[in-house]
Amino acid sequence: MEEFLPMNTPSEDQLRTVRQKLIERGAELRERIDRARGDLGRVREPLPRDSSDAAIAMENDEVLQAIEQSASGELRNIERALQRLEVGTFALCEKCGAEIDAERLGAVPYATHCRHCARDS
């Protein structure tokens, strides 16, 4: 994942940049989810008669399901971060209210807890 802008007290320009990056990442994830679901939509086809081919098909479906679940989880986090940006709580820890440090937000732009609270969770 592309690294996001670190910030202490975010400026309007920094917030716009982070917002845009989150939106772009969300679009990538939606596309990934759609592709995985499209491929999983073919699950309705009967499994191949050959047991090794059937095992490969089932394994592929499990991988697609894992990709879809992972992307859906990250997309939920991104949507939540965008909501936090809108209400002005983006860089604040949801547990203690402290500012989430720039390095953490740079690595995980949808972080909801400061390092201390994340460690305690």
Q: How confident is the model over 79-106, as pLDDT tens digits?
A: 999 999 999 999 999 999 999 988 888 8
Give the phi and the psi of residue 92 in degrees, each rounded to 5.
-110, 135
**What pLDDT score does 43 carry?**
58
Report in angstroms the alpha-carbon separations of 33 from 9, 36, 49, 56.
Answer: 34, 5, 29, 21
Q: What is the pLDDT of residues 21-63, one digit of tens each?
A: 999 999 999 999 999 998 887 656 666 677 887 788 788 889 9
End-to-end alpha-carbon separation of the chain, Å?
Answer: 24
